[in-house]
């Protein structure tokens, strides 16, 4: 076993090791998909972020346009301040809606951006004014039960014009919550 053969094989061995570490880091881990290109940061205030975590995707029309960076709590307004990074290639108008949706039925949550119609665009450090909170399952169930209870109460009474007005807003509320995710 002469030295050149040993050197060659040890070199191949170490090269294999480095290649597998790089492969693990890039392909398996998330070392490269941090921020592709330049980004600008924007904040949004939510009353309830649900299960949103940092590094969750920010999607618009279903395409990932950025990442959630930081979720902080504002102790004055008791709201959650979410900082998101958006890719510099994409510009959103100032009246963009920021909603928190759930991928699938019980999957992880992400921020969905719906563009408005304003001519001015969001710049670095701007605040998204219009937000919709995450759907909390318990609140939805309690609202559904409440609207069901008020429906049966209205049927029990004789049908008058006031009860018909009561049922219409209750029906409208339950469909408002059922916004489908992207």
Partner 1 sequence: MTKSNPLIGIIKYLQVIGHRMVERIWRLGAGARLFFLTIIYSGESFKRFHLTMREIYATGVLSLLIIIVSAFFVGMVLALQGYNTLQKYGSSEAIGVLVALSLVRELGPVVTALLFAGRAGTAITAEIGLMKTTEQLSAMEMMAVNPIARVVAPRFWAGVISMPILATLFSMVGILGGYLVAVPLIGVDEGAFWSQMQANVDFQTDIVNGVIKSLVFGVACTMIALFEGFDAPPTAEGVSRATTRTVVISSLTVLGLDFVLTSFMLVI
Residue numbers at the binding site for partner 1 (CB under 8 A): 1, 3, 6-7, 9-10, 12-14, 16-17, 20-21, 23-25, 27-31, 33
Between residues 107 and 125, which has the closer beta carbon with respect to partner 1?
107
Distance CA 81, CA 45 (A): 5
Between residues 62 and 117, which has the closer beta carbon with respect to partner 1?
62
Between residues 85 and 92, which has the closer beta carbon with respect to partner 1?
85
- H or E segment at 74? strand 63-74
Between residues 55 and 148, which has the closer beta carbon with respect to partner 1?
55
Contact 82, 111 (CB under 8 A): yes
Between residues 27 and 76, which has the closer beta carbon with respect to partner 1?
27
* CB 10 to partner 1: min, Å: 5
Structure tokens at 83: 């900082």
* CB 41 to partner 1: min, Å: 21
37: how many CB neighbours lie within 10 A of its CB? 7
* CB 118 to partner 1: min, Å: 32
* CB 65 to partner 1: min, Å: 16
Distance CA 167, CA 148 (A): 10
Distance CA 61, CA 58 (A): 10
Neighbour-count burial of 172, counting CB atoms closer than 10 A to its CB (0-12 exposed, 13-18 middle, 19+ buried):
exposed
* CB 25 to partner 1: min, Å: 6
88: how many CB neighbours lie within 10 A of its CB? 12
């Amino acid at each position: 076993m002469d030295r050149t053969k040993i050197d060659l094989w040890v070199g191949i061995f170490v090269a294999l090791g480095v290649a597998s570490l790089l492969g693990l880091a890039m392909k398996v881990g998330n070392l490269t998909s941090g921020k592709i290109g330049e980004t600008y940061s924007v904040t949004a205030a939510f009353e309830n972020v649900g299960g949103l975590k940092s590094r969750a995707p920010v999607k618009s029309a279903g395409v990932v346009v950025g990442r959630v960076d930081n979720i902080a709590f504002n102790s004055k307004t008791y709201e959650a301040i979410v900082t998101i990074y958006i890719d510099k290639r994409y510009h959103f108008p100032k009246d963009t809606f920021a909603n928190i949706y759930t991928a699938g039925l019980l999957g992880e949550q992400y921020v969905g951006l719906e563009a408005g119609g304003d001519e001015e665009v969001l710049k670095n450090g701007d605040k998204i004014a219009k937000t919709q909170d995450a759907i909390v399952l318990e609140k939805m169930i309690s609202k559904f039960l409440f609207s069901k209870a008020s429906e049966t109460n209205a049927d029990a009474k004789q049908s008058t014009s006031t009860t018909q007005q009561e049922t219409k807003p209750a029906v409208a509320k339950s469909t408002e919550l059922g916004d489908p995710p992207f």
